Amino acid sequence: MIKSTELSKKYGSNCVLNIETLEIPKGQTFGLVGNNGAGKTTFFNLMLDLIKPTTGYIINNEIQVNKSEDWKPFTAAFIDESFLIGYLTPEEYFYFVGELRGMNKADIDTFLDQFQEIFNDEILGKKKYLRDLSKGNQKKAGIVAALIGNPEVIVLDEPFANLDPTTQIRLKKLLKEIVQNSNVTVLISSHDLGHVTEVCERIVVLDKGNIIKDIKTSEETLKELEAYFSV
């Protein structure tokens, strides 16, 4: 589904990402872990064509992302708050994204029904603009918006950060369901080793822009990761 070739990103002489080759098959739940500055967000930004690669390219479902815009209809992402439109209410925001993805209001309303649990009555019908929601609730809205319109590729940067424990557990459940019931490719990054090992089938460890480990998740993975990071 996603294939990057000789991908690198340099700012001046500072190389922030350098991945020889990385292939993510369709339907995989893919996790990126690494300390600050490892290049996780850079990789996602490159995937969404928000920054320009210094060398190499990423192919998303046979479309080279910096050449054509045709990857947009089947790719959805939530990277940070700049993916939210602050002066809209959450409902309006969902309708707007829905509209862009060919879903009308009624579709969105049914779609949102399944997230009642996650929203926990704090998002919908609160007469608040997104900019006035708490960080955690903003994140919830952003993640749910990224699921609108049955995308084939979902990119979530640090989805668990800022969420309360209950929502973290619910989100994990939700992500697992999504992957099980469909052929969606999910890419997430996280600082929480427990969460990624629980959700992801495969985990790649980045350090200073380089791939250090590429693990197929198993019972021992969490220990392996903890051992690596506890240096």
Sites of contact with another protein (CB under 8 A):
48-52, 69, 72-73, 75, 77, 79-80, 82-89, 91-92, 96-97, 99-101, 126-129, 131-132, 149
Amino acid at 211: I
Min dist. Cβ of residue 9 to another protein (A): 11
Residue number with CB closer to another protein (65 or 225): 65
Return the H-helix or E-strand segment holding 90. Answer: helix 90-100
Shortest distance (Å) from residue 89 CB to another protein: 5
For another protein, the closer of residues 130 and 196 by Cβ is 130
C-beta closer to another protein: residue 87 or 117 = 87
Distance CA 44, CA 130 (A): 24
CB of 100 to another protein, least distance (A): 5
Q: Rounded distance, CA 56 to CA 17, Å? A: 11
Q: 154 and 146 in contact (C-beta within 8 Å)?
A: yes
Name every residue whose Cβ is closer than 8 Å to that of residue 55 and which is 6 or more positions away in sequence: 6, 7, 8
19 touches 4 (CB < 8 A): yes
Least distance in angstroms from the C-beta of 28 to another protein = 21
Are residues 61 and 218 in contact, defined by beta-carbon separation less than 8 angstroms? no
Residue 66: CB atoms within 10 Å? 13
Question: Residue 15 or 169: which CB sits closer to another protein?
Answer: 15
Nearer to another protein, 30 or 95 (CB): 95
Smallest separation (angstroms) from another protein to the CB of 227:
36
Are 63 and 49 in contact, with CB atoms under 8 Å apart? Answer: no
